[in-house]
Amino acid sequence: MAEADIDDLPRNEANHTALTPLWFLDRAALVHPNRLSVVHGSRRFTWAETYRRCRRFASALHSRSIGHGKTVAVIAPNIPAIYEAHFGIPMAGAVLNTINIRLNAATIAFLLGHSSASVVIVDQEFFTLAEEALKIIADEKKAAFKPPILIVVGDETCDPSSLKYAIGKGAIEYEKFLGSGDPDFAWKPPKDEWHSIALGYTSGTTSSPKGVVLHHRGAYLMALSCALIWNMTEGAIYLWTLPMFHCNGWCYAWTLAALCGTSICLRQVTPKAVYSAIAHQGVSYFCAAPVVLNSIVNAPPSDTILPLPRVVNVNTAGAAPPPSLLADMTKLGFRVTHTYGLSETFGPSVLCAWKPEWDQLPLDERTRLHSRQGVRYVGLEGLDVVNLKTMEPVPADGATLGEIVMRGNLVMKGYLKNPKANAETFAGGWYHSGDIGVKHPDGYIEVKDRAKDIIISGGENISSLEVESLMYMHPAILEVSVVARPDEQWGESPCAFVTLKDGVDSSNEQALAESIIKFCRAKMPAYWVPKSVVFGPLPKTATGKIKKNELREKAKAMGPVKKSRL
Amino acid sequence: MAEADIDDLPRNEANHTALTPLWFLDRAALVHPNRLSVVHGSRRFTWAETYRRCRRFASALHSRSIGHGKTVAVIAPNIPAIYEAHFGIPMAGAVLNTINIRLNAATIAFLLGHSSASVVIVDQEFFTLAEEALKIIADEKKAAFKPPILIVVGDETCDPSSLKYAIGKGAIEYEKFLGSGDPDFAWKPPKDEWHSIALGYTSGTTSSPKGVVLHHRGAYLMALSCALIWNMTEGAIYLWTLPMFHCNGWCYAWTLAALCGTSICLRQVTPKAVYSAIAHQGVSYFCAAPVVLNSIVNAPPSDTILPLPRVVNVNTAGAAPPPSLLADMTKLGFRVTHTYGLSETFGPSVLCAWKPEWDQLPLDERTRLHSRQGVRYVGLEGLDVVNLKTMEPVPADGATLGEIVMRGNLVMKGYLKNPKANAETFAGGWYHSGDIGVKHPDGYIEVKDRAKDIIISGGENISSLEVESLMYMHPAILEVSVVARPDEQWGESPCAFVTLKDGVDSSNEQALAESIIKFCRAKMPAYWVPKSVVFGPLPKTATGKIKKNELREKAKAMGPVKKSRL
């Protein structure tokens, strides 16, 4: 027998097919045709209906020559149409480009131009925004402008006038568009699982947004990983608090189909709406950035339904949750899974895998362990913290800072039309997250800061995140963000921007600032203590991340900290 | 922008790696190093230990030039070494060939010759069997015989003399072999996920055994599917009733690593041992063929621990379970998942997905639904029942017979060195199971028989399985198998082989046979009723399947049913 005989059995049609989450929809419609797939107010769809609607969707695109290599943009909150887009668009072979509804027209114009979207599907509430964005492109490109097919999604919870306006402007009504498609359309999986399924733009807080391109293979694997790491069970009822336009809802749009589960849509995320869905719709799972959890923890009692009627699992990522927030959520009865990732890794791909033996520890210790980002998902093959210069792994000492890097099947294909960024981001055979962290002796990693958020004071690195975590213990602080402010003596020093809790007396800002600084002195090394404290609301991105770049600009505009102040 | 620009982002080291279940072990050792991985009597291993042992295993093979393209045979019951073989062998790049311990030396000689095994790892109890098999090969090949490396696994529960004997014969002791390997061996994933991970031989009840070759990709996907379809949770405690030599324990060896769960080994499967593991080791999951469930249902009360201390999930496949058996197991409190598949599909790849609404139905109706084989696993992409000649799907009427076919990523690479069988088995782009079934209006399939077990009487097809299912309702019958017996008038007619329950008065076999035939007349069409009933134990394969070929031979030897008997 020759050396490799046992590998002489090639792939064929029977034993190899492209991995794609589209198979999950086909299966859900077969296995649980009558189970609820998507619920939005009084609208309820079953899996049989969702499958037929998605096939109509794909067929309607196909008949308009939208297929492989084409991009379809969707501008919508968490309504059924954006869920359907996660299947209907790739079933036609095209790429789904979800767009953040909170961007301004100029940015959306940039994105639609960059992605060359052939179709734009827009929720009626955001029609004028899309219209404005397209006008900007038209004005810029002049005769070269080929307007995309424009589809407007009506929603009974919105004012009918905006739908009427959109149709008057020539947009095709979404239901009519679906009606033009064949509900039995014979969709095909992609020829290659490496084909693109989705394109999403980074929030671009510091530079032009970059287009993250995701592949069918990774979407399939992430969808399964998402279920496994969270112990999600078949038929799970999931609340859409996390926008689907944000990294495809961390791929849960596809996970729900794999589990034949039910999606509860939510146009507006408020603590009251979240609690109501838990009370009335059987919700057991939702994902949310820490900012949303913060609002849940601080909701007025009349908006809550405590104690919770069942275990409610929360997956939080998007920013490092302050330890106090994890503790508060746990006290309310939520089971919080702390995860970490980026759009470039299909959403969170690292989790603080909980160990049953930790249950016996005091709350403080549990919270300390819980606030670490942790270990790779089942579907991610490599995760490490490496020296920024040598790329050697840092020692697992919980102290040495390095860059967090990932590798494996949950890493994006790359950035669209951006070879320079791709070369940098994939240097040395790893995806470079741009996040700074440490590795603990037990192998769990912990994010210390975004590389660009690190404050360098007198040559020492200060993690803005760690300063914030300690400041969150102050009873008057609702939200805090710490950034570098130029400093005559030390180069940079920490500057804190603070939002106070309701009811805190803020008549004497200076006294309050001094009390906070005093509080900090008792909690942290002297060089970490913010030299200035500024009160007011914090600027946020569409997904609730604090815009540190704006705060840095503000701190810079305040001028350098004078030597004399010391 | 050119048509396919968005697909112009190639794979690289950072974003693409071979799918292989080996990653799960690496992760389990990182995340839960101190959790029990494998328990066997008083021997207990943690995930950190199992990982180090498997790396030693791979290293020890590597240093003996056993790598890609080489095959390593394992002849062992469910002991830790065979679990470790599922990782150690592929980590060296080689292919794991598990061999059924209940085969005779001549058959094992055939398998070792066919697979060209470079190494044979054998449990001490089966050493002389392996020795005998190797002698057969040596005698046959003479000077051309290159003896494989022989490794013997000691087990404290066995008589020490057989271990001593094996070492005296030059076999390397397994622990010593591991000791020669590096516990930090830098294993690598396969270069290609299509590389072979395992080779298993079909039982070959009718022809020469065929070598089923499985790939890393499918093993990875099946391992995850196994967890998902069964709602298995992280840290599951699993009892090894199903032999790992049978289709890699339906891939659960790898699932347990993905879940960081615990494997409880079992050298001898008895109802008492199963109940004891449930009582004392926290077992919540096990897999077993119906024959094992039958012994559990019929166990003497002193061997049981009823009521069960927790929900115990049972996955049963390997033969269609009689409906009465499903009902009996359910009554005992087991949650039975009925699955179906073949070695060629990485084990069961079809399941009777349970619908919560069925819980409200009467037991009979629930059992009827439960005894259907069902729908595809999440990881299988195609399942159908097709006309044997045209390959067109049969109507979903629950009546039209056709062949069950599968397609997708849970289908084997093919049979080793058997192009003719491969051409047949993959004809028309589907894997042909050789099983005959129907498709119900709700899309669930039901196996009616192995193609070769169908009885053709007067031109009508009779499913031996359906006759058996009805006969199982007879209070005196413990086990029954129905096969074709030559029939002068009808060509073939059903002949039943019956094992009676303990305590049944069998002094008058003829009267008992007549009473059974009378019972059948009341339950089934006249032409289904067995014309002969034979009492005695049923011959079984190593995995508990009844050897229908032997019974057919017996029925044939009885001579044709005479016309006059009618």
Q: Cβ–Cβ of B353/A227 closer than 8 Å?
A: no
CB-CB neighbors (< 8 A) of B5 in chain A: 69, 416-417
Residue for token pair 């066995």: B158
What SS3 string covers A34-88? CCEEEEECCEEEEHHHHHHHHHHHHHHHHCCCCCCCCEEEEECCECHHHHHHHHH
Provide DSSP, A292-319.
Answer: HHHHHHT--GGG--PSPSS-EEEEE-SS
Q: Is B149 helix (H, G, I), strand (E, B) or coil?
A: strand
Q: Cβ–Cβ of B7/A412 closer than 8 Å?
A: no
The residue among B378, B385, B430 with the most chain A CBs within 10 A of its CB, best to mutate, is: B378
Instruction: Pull the structure tokens for residue A436.
Output: 């700074």
Which residue in the set B30, B429, B443 is minimally distant from A443, CB to CB? Answer: B30
Strand A211-215, strand A196-201: pairing:
antiparallel
CA A403, chain centre distance (Å): 20
- Helix (H) or strand (E) holding A173, with range, is strand A172-173
Q: Cβ–Cβ of A234/B234 closer than 8 Å?
A: no
Distance CA B60, CA A280 (A): 59
Q: Cβ–Cβ of A409/B15 closer than 8 Å?
A: yes
Type of residue at B395: P
Residues in chain A: 566
CA B57, chain centre distance (Å): 25
Q: Which domains does chain B have, with CATH numbers?
A: 22-216 (3.40.50.12780), 269-451 (3.40.50.12780), 454-565 (3.30.300.30)
| Closest to A25 in 3D by CA, of A7, A49, A5 | A49
CA dihedral B269, B271, B274, B275 (to 10 degrees): -160
B464 and B483 Cβ atoms separated by less than 8 Å: yes
Long-range contacts of A358-364 (CB under 8 A, 24+ apart): A363/A327, A363/A330
pLDDT in tens, A383-414: 999 998 899 999 999 999 999 999 999 999 99
CA dihedral A71, A77, A79, A82 (to 10 degrees): 10
Which residue in chain B is spatially nearest to A114 when comparing CA positions? B1
- pTM here is 0.90
CB-CB neighbors (< 8 A) of B194 in chain A: 7, 11, 16
Which residue in the set B234, B422, B430 is minimally distant from A231, CB to CB? Answer: B234
Q: Cβ–Cβ of A258/B4 closer than 8 Å?
A: no
A481 and A449 Cβ atoms separated by less than 8 Å: no
Which residue in the set A15, A228, A412 is minimally distant from B15, CB to CB? Answer: A412
Q: Do you find a cis peptide bond into A307, omega within 30 degrees of 0?
A: yes
On average, the pLDDT of chain A sits at 94
The residue among A65, A351, A378 with the most chain B CBs within 10 A of its CB, best to mutate, is: A378
CB-CB neighbors (< 8 A) of B231 in chain A: 233-234
Q: Which residues touch B468 (CB under 8 Å, ≥6 apart)?
A: B322, B480, B481, B482
| Closest to B59 in 3D by CA, of B193, B179, B189 | B179
B549 and B206 Cβ atoms separated by less than 8 Å: yes
Q: Which pLDDT belongs to residue B566?
A: 43
pLDDT in tens, A38-82: 999 999 999 999 999 999 999 999 999 999 999 999 999 999 999
Distance CA B459, CA B355 (A): 38
Distance CA A197, CA A68 (A): 10
* Cα-based angle A466, A470, A476 (whole degrees, multiple of 5): 135
| Closest to B117 in 3D by CA, of B48, B45, B200, B182 | B200
A41/chain B closest Cα distance in angstroms = 24
Q: Which pLDDT belongs to residue B187?
A: 97
CB-CB neighbors (< 8 A) of A223 in chain B: none
The residue among A9, A192, A357, A425 with the most chain B CBs within 10 A of its CB, best to mutate, is: A9
The residue among B1, B5, B6 with the most chain A CBs within 10 A of its CB, best to mutate, is: B6
Q: Which pLDDT belongs to residue B207?
A: 64
Q: Cβ–Cβ of B409/A5 closer than 8 Å?
A: no
Residues of chain B where predicted confidence (pLDDT) is lower than 70:
1-4, 203-207, 542-543, 564-566
Which residue in chain B is spatially nearest to A380 when comparing CA positions? B23
CB-CB neighbors (< 8 A) of B24 in chain A: 378
Q: Cβ–Cβ of A443/B233 closer than 8 Å?
A: no
CB-CB neighbors (< 8 A) of A411 in chain B: 14-15
A18 and B381 Cβ atoms separated by less than 8 Å: no
Q: Do you find a cis peptide bond into B307, omega within 30 degrees of 0?
A: yes
Q: Cβ–Cβ of A30/B375 closer than 8 Å?
A: yes
Which residue in chain B is spatially nearest to A11 when comparing CA positions? B413
pLDDT in tens, A257-274: 999 999 999 999 999 999
Q: Which pLDDT belongs to residue A366?
A: 93
Which residue in the set A12, A19, A409 is minimally distant from B17, CB to CB? Answer: A409
Which residue in the set B9, B14, B411 is minimally distant from A430, CB to CB? Answer: B14
Residue A518 clears pLDDT 50, i.e. is over it: yes
- Helix (H) or strand (E) holding B161, with range, is helix B160-168
Q: Cβ–Cβ of A3/B69 closer than 8 Å?
A: yes
| Closest to B177 in 3D by CA, of B251, B282, B66 | B66
* Upper half-sphere CA count for residue A22 (Cβ side, 13 Å): 30
Residue A361 clears pLDDT 80, i.e. is over it: yes
Which one-letter DSSP state was computed for residue B15?
Answer: T
Residue for token pair 């030897």: B557
Q: Cβ–Cβ of A7/B408 closer than 8 Å?
A: no
Q: Which pLDDT belongs to residue A28?
A: 98
Q: Cβ–Cβ of A69/B7 closer than 8 Å?
A: yes
| Closest to A98 in 3D by CA, of A137, A126, A140, A128 | A126
Quote the ipTM score.
0.90
Q: Which residues touch A242 (CB under 8 Å, ≥6 apart)?
A: A249, A250, A252, A286, A287, A288, A289
Q: Cβ–Cβ of A378/B417 closer than 8 Å?
A: no
Residue A205 clears pLDDT 70, i.e. is over it: no
B347 and B247 Cβ atoms separated by less than 8 Å: yes
Which residue in the set A13, A32, A221 is minimally distant from B355, CB to CB? Answer: A32
Q: Cβ–Cβ of B5/A356 closer than 8 Å?
A: no
Instruction: Pull the structure tokens for residue B153.
Output: 């696994």
The residue among A1, A5, A6, A46 with the most chain B CBs within 10 A of its CB, best to mutate, is: A6
CB pairs under 8 A between A and B: 177
Q: Cβ–Cβ of A9/B413 closer than 8 Å?
A: yes
pLDDT in tens, A132-142: 999 999 999 88
CB-CB neighbors (< 8 A) of B407 in chain A: 13-15, 17
Q: Is A435 helix (H, G, I), strand (E, B) or coil?
A: strand
